[in-house]
Amino acid sequence: MSGNRTLTAAGTICLAMLLLGFFDNFVVLIARDLGLWQFHLMRAIMAVGILVLLSWVGRARLNPIRRWAVTIRGGFAALAMLIYFGSLAFLPIGQVAAGLFTAPLWVLLIGALFLGEPVGLTRISAAVIGFAGVLIVLDPFANGLDPVALVPMTAGFFYAIGGIATRQWCEGESALSMLLYFFLALGLFGLIGSVVMTLWVHEVPAGAEGFILRGVVWPTPIGWGLTVMQAVGSLVAVGLIFKGYQMGDAAQVAIYEYLLLPFAAGWGLVLFGDPVPARAIFGMVLIIASGAIISLRSRAT
C-alpha cells in the first residue's frame, strides 16, 4: 500500500509539473498585451475568488493559525514569482526555470550559515554540481557577461526563503491557507506596481519588452483568455502538488518537481518551436541529479 501511495504521489507531482510547464509557456504571449503587475493583480483576484468559493462550500480551510507567519511566507513566495514571471518575457522558460531551481542550493547555504544546520560533503558536492548545471543552462557569458541571464537566480533565492519560512514557522497550517496568503501578497504587489506604472509618466516599449514597465491597460480578448487559463491552471497544478505531498514522503516527492525543467523546455519546443540545445539538456540533468541528492540526503539526516 505504501509503495502504491508513493507511485501515486510521484504521478500526481509529474502531472502538476506537466501542467505548469504548459501554462507558464503562455506568459510570453500575455506579456505582449498586459503588464507584469496587472497580470498578477488579475490572476490573484481570480485565484482568491476561487479559494473563497471553495471555503464557502466547505472544501477548504482558509483561516491560518499564525497569520503573521503565512503572511511573511506568502510575501517571499510572491517576490519569487514576480521575478520568475517577469523573466519569462525576456528569457527562454528553460533558463528561467533553471534559475528558480537554485532554491535548494540557497536553502543549503542559508541553513548552514544562519541556522547552524550541518552540511556534509555529499550535499556540498551536490550543490556545486547543481550550480554548475544552472550556469550551463543560463549561459550568462554567451554574449559577454549578461546580468539579465542571472536574474532568475534571485527568484530561486526568495523561493528558498519562502520554503525555509514554511518549515520554520508554518507547521500545522493548511496548504490552502498558505496558498490564499500567497495570492493575497501577489495581488498586493500587483496593485502597487499597477498604480505606480500607471501614474508614472514614462516610455513603455511595445510588446513583451514593455512587460515590466506597462501600467493598467484594457486586456485584449486573448489577454483575458490566457490570464484566466493561467490562473485556473496554476491553481489546479498547485492543488496537485499539495495532494502529492500529502500522499508521499516530502523528500522523495520534492525530487519530481525538477521535472518542470524538461517539461517547460519541451512544451516550449512543441508550442513555439523554441530549440533546446544539448548544452541546456546536460545542465538540466546536472540540476535534477543535484536536487535528488540534496533531497535524499536531507531525508537521511
Following DSSP, what letter does each residue of the chain receive, concatenated?
A: -HHHHHHHHHHHHHHHHHHHHHHHTTHHHHTTTS-HHHHHHHHHHHHHHHHHHHHHTTS-----SSHHHHHHHHHHHHHHHHHHHHHHTTS-HHHHHHHHTTHHHHHHHHHHHHS-----HHHHHHHHHHHHHHHHHH-TTBTB--GGGGTHHHHHHHHHHHHHHHHHH-TT--HHHHHHHHHHHHHHHHHHHHHHHHHS-----SGGGGTTT----PPPHHHHHHHHHHHHHHHHHHHHHHHHHHHS-HHHHHHGGGGHHHHHHHHHHHHH-----HHHHHHHHHHHHHHHHHHHHHHH-
Q: What's the mean pLDDT when you consider all of the chain?
A: 86
Share of the chain above pLDDT 70, in %: 92
Q: Residue 2: what pLDDT?
A: 52
Share of the chain above pLDDT 90, in %: 34
Model confidence band, residue 144 (pLDDT cutoffs 50, 70, 90) = low
Question: Lowest-pLDDT range, 91-105, 134-148, 167-181, 273-287?
Answer: 134-148
Q: Residue 240: what pLDDT?
A: 84
**pLDDT beyond 90 at 242:** no
Q: Residue 299: what pLDDT?
A: 56
Question: Lowest-pLDDT range, 94-103, 126-135, 202-211, 238-247?
Answer: 238-247
Question: Lowest-pLDDT range, 141-155, 173-187, 211-225?
Answer: 141-155
Q: What is the pLDDT of residues 80-136, one digit of tens each?
A: 999 999 999 888 888 898 888 888 788 888 888 877 777 778 878 888 888 888 888
Question: Lowest-pLDDT range, 22-26, 141-145, 294-298?
Answer: 141-145
**pLDDT beyond 70 at 146:** no
Q: Residue 1: what pLDDT?
A: 46
